[in-house]
Amino acid sequence: MRFLRLVTLVFGLGIVMADAQLRAEEAKPTAEKPPVSFYRDIRPLLQDRCQGCHQPAKALGGFSLTSYAALKKGGESEQPGFEPGKPDDSELVLQITPRGTEPPAMPKGAAALKPDQVELVRRWIAEGAKDDTPDAAEIVVDREHPPVYNVPPVITSLDYSPDGTLLAVSGYHEVLLHRADAASGELNGIVARLVGLSERIESARFSPDGKRLAVTGGSPGRFGEIQIWDVAGGNLQQSVLVTYDTLYGVSWSGDGAKVAFGCGDNTCRAIDAATGKQVFFQGAHNDWVLDTVFSVDGSHLVSVSRDRSMKLNEVATERFVDNITSITPGALKGGLITVDRHPTKDELLIGGADGVPKIYQMHRTKARQIGDDFNLIRAFEGMPGRIFSVRYSDDGARIVAGSSNDGQGEVRVYNEADAKLVSRFASEHGAVYSTVFRPHTNEVAVGGFDGMVRIYDANSGSMIREFMPVPLVPAVQQAAK
């Protein structure tokens, strides 16, 4: 306490005297207090509290603070973000400091920074606002500097717009929107590159009306992010940072109001798509939650996890209702990875480590008997390896599943009603991580480890066309630039 008062006193003096000499003294690092580091102390703080509204893809007030240079430049008020050595004249400090009894202007609509955090920013500026960003971390990837690829990206997610005209393909730091009917082998199909903060993209899904795209990802061990893009304009509407690891398995409620996702901290959450505010939180799983899906009417949310269970939750009460799959030891042979819902019925298609696609009913109609698997409707023929992707066709008549086993992949299309195998393909191209039917057609898009997108005829299993979804620059050519 006494220590705090002393700090306040020193600062009070510094302001009153406005004495260069004293400021120089202040700036001298003391034994107890090493100088504040931009890279270690300031950047993560701003990243956590401010970047959702101030980043290259969404720079409110014209202001981005994802790099030292952008922070220095400031925003539309044309004030630089800071004046080295002068915290009291620095826009950054003014914005986060309470004005009399008024709360600080920033972060807008959220809790103010804690006094010690404001103090940290002040001290960094007082100490000269030095940039200690390591060279390697200075590679900027944003809208003006889209990712440069020397090798194809692993494709973790594919999704068609509901009208079947656009295909969203996950890349590195971005999701690429392709024209679904572009010619084979060419890049002429790229409609937009949605470049955001997240290095790793785990999932992307169009909203039910096709106007928005929800994306989950993040940077492993640093932050998780959910992005919501306006498809027509290619603009970022929301960037919400959640937890300290990548986010998985995004899904929309049927009315387009909510977006759910799974987290590496074993929670399943949902946000309001318009405001970004968290509206659902469930902590019933005990391993990573990898995929989610809403009931037809949006009242329930289903989550699947590496903990082998599929859980039913009530959205309004945020209450865990039931384990949909059997939780008897031995009934499930491994973690669950992917879930999809029938287009018009509350039936759930799952896939995971045991390689067997299965359909379950969402709501239990009989009391649980220990050891039963009552909700199971149908199990399909087992596939080699783990299933990473399952999807229904838009009419619900067929399902597609993609798997991977020791780097070998396979895709199978089955009839939903009688579990009959319709076709199998893509086994010569390595691990498959994503498969999806193109609405109103017989086409299935497949992506995985080798980075190519391949389109197959679901009836015959023959390939219709293939293309590299990103502009590829061979390493030699790039070095010569």
Residues engaged in binding ligand HEC (CB under 6 A): 49-50, 52-54, 60-63, 74-77, 79, 91-92, 95-96, 106-110, 113
Nearby residues of 215 by Cβ (< 8 Å), 6 or more positions away: 175, 194, 196, 198, 201, 203, 204, 226, 227, 228, 229, 250
Residue with smaller CB distance to ligand HEC, 110 or 397 = 110
Residue with smaller CB distance to ligand HEC, 242 or 312 = 242
Nearby residues of 100 by Cβ (< 8 Å), 6 or more positions away: none
Radius of gyration (Cα) for the chain, nearest Å? Answer: 25
Residue with smaller CB distance to ligand HEC, 54 or 429 = 54
Residue with smaller CB distance to ligand HEC, 273 or 446 = 273
Q: How many CA atoms are closer than 13 Å to the CA of 450, on its beta-carbon side?
A: 18
Task: Tell the smallest beta-carbon distance from residue 44 to ligand HEC (Å).
Answer: 12
Residue with smaller CB distance to ligand HEC, 49 or 173 = 49
Task: Tell the smallest beta-carbon distance from residue 62 to ligand HEC (Å).
Answer: 6
Task: Tell the smallest beta-carbon distance from residue 130 to ligand HEC (Å).
Answer: 18
Task: Tell the smallest beta-carbon distance from residue 61 to ligand HEC (Å).
Answer: 3
Distances (CA, A) of 368 to 168, 300, 336: 40, 19, 21
3-class DSSP state of 340? strand
Q: Which residues of 289-315 are buried (b: 16+ CB within 10 A; e: fewer)?
A: bbbbbbbeebebbbbbbbbbbbbbbbb
Residue with smaller CB distance to ligand HEC, 240 or 290 = 240
Residue with smaller CB distance to ligand HEC, 79 or 266 = 79
Task: Tell the smallest beta-carbon distance from residue 142 to ligand HEC (Å).
Answer: 18
Task: Tell the smallest beta-carbon distance from residue 58 to ligand HEC (Å).
Answer: 9
Residue with smaller CB distance to ligand HEC, 235 or 408 = 235
Residue with smaller CB distance to ligand HEC, 117 or 219 = 117
Pick from 445, 404, 389, 403: nearest CA to 168: 445
Task: Tell the smallest beta-carbon distance from residue 133 to ligand HEC (Å).
Answer: 18
Task: Tell the smallest beta-carbon distance from residue 93 to ligand HEC (Å).
Answer: 9
Nearby residues of 449 by Cβ (< 8 Å), 6 or more positions away: 154, 404, 407, 409, 430, 431, 433
By CB atoms closer than 10 A (0-12, 13-18, 19+), residue 405 is middle
Q: How many CA atoms are closer than 13 Å to the CA of 362, on its beta-carbon side?
A: 24
Encoded amino acid at 480, one letter = A
Residue with smaller CB distance to ligand HEC, 53 or 337 = 53
Task: Tell the smallest beta-carbon distance from residue 53 to ligand HEC (Å).
Answer: 3
Task: Tell the smallest beta-carbon distance from residue 235 to ligand HEC (Å).
Answer: 15
Residue with smaller CB distance to ligand HEC, 95 or 253 = 95
Q: Give the integer Cα–Cα distance in Å for 149 and 332.
A: 39
φ/ψ of 342, rounded to 5, equals -55, 140
Q: Are 212 and 165 in contact (CB under 8 A)?
A: no
3-class DSSP state of 205? strand
Nearby residues of 436 by Cβ (< 8 Å), 6 or more positions away: 158, 159, 160, 389, 391, 400, 444, 445
Task: Tell the smallest beta-carbon distance from residue 301 to ligand HEC (Å).
Answer: 25
